[in-house]
Amino acid sequence: MTNYKNYTNKEMQAITIAKTIQDGQIVIVGTGLPLIGASLAKRIFAPNCKLIVESGLMDCNPIEVPRSVGDTRFMAHCGVQWPNVRFIGFETNEWLNDKDRMIAFIGGAQIDPYGNVNSTCIGDYHNPITRFTGSGGANGIATYSNTVIMMQHEKRRFIDKIDYVTSVGWGDGVGGREKLGLPGNRGPIAVVTDRGILKFDDKTKRMYLAGYYPTSSPEDVLENTGFELDVSKAVRLDAPDEAVIKMIREEIDPGQAFIKVPVEEK
């Protein structure tokens, strides 16, 4: 008999991502865990959300998780196929017309207490230890949309000062975005990791632990964070329903492209 009680932290992360999406929102999503989470939201938690990708595909409803934003599994069930420039215009127009219905997902290699993200390099920009692919569309997305940041929770990633700011979060705190000429009414709203969910204080814009998984704890999160973190408001999140885990494994990602199913011991 198939066991759907043995969920993984990645599955918990995808479910937590799904629950950040509200019904009726327009969701900018790429591939990987954010797409699994968004697909799950559309099936269960927010059936009227609309998924869009930066390749220009709008109102997507993939049968199973695509491998890239140009995958035909995205194209076959989308409302319209726009060129990329139309996507950028749509994203900007939402902000210019003061719409507040868009949420976006980005990731990176490093993050600081105010949600500034580095996806460019580790070390000096001109002589890096490691060079990454860079922004892609993340900088523009972080400029004009409220974002949820997806990260693996490790001390080397959660640090006081990141090596390079690829996508601005709340800058240096309250008023930080405005000082940089960016919209102050947009910014990161959460960070979803493999240990829990972190949010940003309304008054200080600094990150705090809002919830942790049954497999984690506030102490575990603190041990894996490289800066001072408030955990006083953290709550233990509920374990997922078996039906949700079954949907991820059998309908959304049956090929285990992004989430591997744990092997049962014999």
Instruction: List the Cα angle 12/169/71 in 5-degree steps.
Output: 55
Would residue 54 show up in a list of annotated catalytic residues for this protein? Answer: yes
- The answer for residues whose C-beta is within 8 angstroms of residue 226's C-beta and 6 or more apart is 155, 156, 157, 158, 159, 160
Helix (H) or strand (E) holding 107: strand 102-107
Judged by phi (left if over 0) then psi (alpha if -120 to 50, else beta), residue 225 lies in: beta
Whether the CB-CB separation of 40 and 61 falls below 8 Å is answered with no
- Amino acid letter, residue 46: A
Whether the CB-CB separation of 157 and 194 falls below 8 Å is answered with no
54, 94, 154, 264: the catalytic one is 54
The encoded tokens of residue 247 equal: 């949907």
**Annotated catalytic sites, by residue?**
54
